């Protein structure tokens, strides 16, 4: 079987040689290996290198990986063929295992395919075994653990390893903070968010920590961070929306509506602003206005479980029981995460309806 695979690989490279000049241009290696190169030029450069011959197994495999990454933009079948050929030719090439894991991670809906997730994790793990210093491979594997396996401990371990290798890696610290939050370890989540504020004292870090405080009902700290973020960027809608949420929680509905008005004026295309304002209207008992706002969001994103749950709660408050049940069931059928599903089930339970 191994002989047949090797023969197929040799034939594939020979086919390329028959179609292209046998002499590679002087800059082909740079063009082939640079991910930002124009796609067609990069594929041709990689193919000329392969056709010219004179490469050892590692150089051939590395060139196949580079070409696969360029193929990935438009021809995923050829991309995977190159990556698989590289793995067969040089099984100790970490970049090839990473590329195959990444390709499969990007190509498929992983939510309902645990076997594929296991294969992707295995590919990433093999890449890490071969090159434990490559920070980004940990990031991809942690994403599978956190987003699909709900294995937050393993995700946190990967993010922690990234931070050992690159202590100022912003995405790793932010992702670890999110994983701590999903696990319910809010003290460590806050520690990571505060470290981000220290390392990157800008608008985004302040918004993230402000929203954390908001979710924890710590309105004083939330307002302080969001006001600072707003000073840094008066036109960004998130601080305005967060301040509006805090105002709603305090019962200051006129202030909340005024803040939403400013945010929507600055970013009328952001449907979540209308959904947030709908919550204020719902708290005020202005059910028709709340319904209008959430309908605007659903007109753009019809398959949004959170918006359907929100509309279900509005219908429930309006006494429209059957409409509410229909929305909670529709949201549950979308299966868009544990929180959305829990909200749907809670709504159905309140109304005495089966899922």
**Same fold? 93-197, 201-268:** yes
Burial of 208 (0-12, 13-18, 19+ CB in 10 A): buried
Give, in degrees to the nearest 5, the angle at Cα 28 between 25 and 29: 135
Tell which CATH architecture fits domain 201-268. Answer: Alpha Horseshoe (1.25)
For the segment 58-86, what is each residue's pLDDT rounded down to a tens digit? Answer: 999 999 999 999 999 889 999 999 999 99
Is residue 125 predicted with pLDDT exceeding 70? yes
Contacts 24+ apart (CB under 8 A), 329-333: 329/353, 329/355, 331/305, 331/306, 332/305
Q: Where are the domains of the chain?
A: 1-91, 93-197, 201-268
Q: What DSSP line would sit under 94-133, residue for residue?
A: HHHHHHHHHHHHHHS--TT-HHHHHHHHHHHHHHHHH-TT
Rounded CA-CA distance 299/157 in Å is 40
Q: What is the pLDDT of residues 159-198, one digit of tens each?
A: 999 999 999 999 999 999 999 999 999 999 999 999 999 9
* Beta carbons of 129 and 119 less than 8 angstroms apart: no
By the 10 Å C-beta count (0-12 exposed, 13-18 middle, 19+ buried), 266 is classed as middle
Residue 281: Cβ within 10 Å count: 23
**210 to 88, 232, 289: CA distances (angstroms):** 49, 14, 28
With tokens 């003290």, the residue in question is 187
Q: Which fold has domain 93-197?
A: 1.25.40
Summarize pLDDT for 7-63 with one digit per residue, the tens: 455 555 544 444 444 455 679 999 999 989 999 999 999 999 999 989 999 999 999
pLDDT tens-place string over residues 208-220: 999 999 999 999 9
* pLDDT digit string, tens, across residues 224-259: 999 999 999 998 999 999 999 999 999 999 999 999
Q: What pLDDT sits at residue 5?
A: 52
Cut 0.85: pTM above it: no
Percent of the chain with pLDDT over 70: 93
């Amino acid at each position: 079987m191994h002989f047949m695979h090797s023969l197929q690989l040799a034939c594939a490279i020979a086919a390329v040689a028959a179609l292209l000049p046998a002499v590679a241009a002087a800059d082909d290696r740079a063009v082939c290996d640079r991910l930002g190169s124009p796609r067609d030029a990069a594929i041709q450069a990689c193919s000329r290198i392969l056709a010219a011959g004179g490469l050892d197994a590692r150089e051939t495999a590395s060139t196949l990986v580079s070409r696969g990454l360029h193929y990935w933009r438009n021809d995923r079948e050829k991309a995977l063929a190159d990556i698989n050929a590289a793995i067969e030719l040089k099984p100790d090439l970490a970049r090839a295992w990473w590329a195959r894991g990444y390709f499969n991670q990007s190509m498929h809906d992983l939510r309902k395919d645990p076997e594929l997730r296991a294969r992707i994790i295995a590919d990433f793990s093999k890449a890490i075994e071969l090159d434990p210093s490559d920070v980004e491979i940990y990031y991809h594997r942690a994403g599978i653990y956190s987003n699909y396996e709900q294995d937050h401990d393993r995700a946190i371990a990967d993010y922690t390893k990234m931070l050992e290798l690159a202590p100022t890696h912003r995405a790793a610290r932010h992702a670890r903070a999110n994983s701590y939050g999903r696990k319910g370890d809010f003290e460590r989540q806050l520690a990571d968010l505060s470290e981000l504020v220290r390392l990157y004292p800008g608008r985004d870090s302040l918004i993230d920590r402000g929203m954390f405080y908001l979710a924890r009902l710590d309105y004083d700290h939330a307002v302080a961070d969001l006001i600072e973020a707003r000073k840094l960027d008066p036109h960004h809608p998130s601080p305005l929306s967060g301040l509006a949420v805090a105002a709603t929680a305090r019962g200051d509905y006129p202030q909340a509506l005024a803040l939403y008005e400013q945010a929507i004026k600055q970013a009328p295309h952001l449907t979540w602003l209308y959904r947030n304002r709908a919550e204020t209207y719902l708290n005020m008992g202005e059910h028709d206005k709340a319904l209008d706002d959430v309908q605007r969001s659903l007109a753009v994103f019809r398959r949004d479980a959170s918006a359907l749950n929100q509309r279900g709660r509005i219908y429930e408050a309006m006494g429209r029981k059957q409409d509410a049940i229909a929305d909670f069931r529709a949201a549950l059928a979308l299966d868009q995460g544990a929180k959305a599903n829990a909200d749907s089930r809670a709504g159905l339970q309140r109304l005495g309806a089966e899922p």
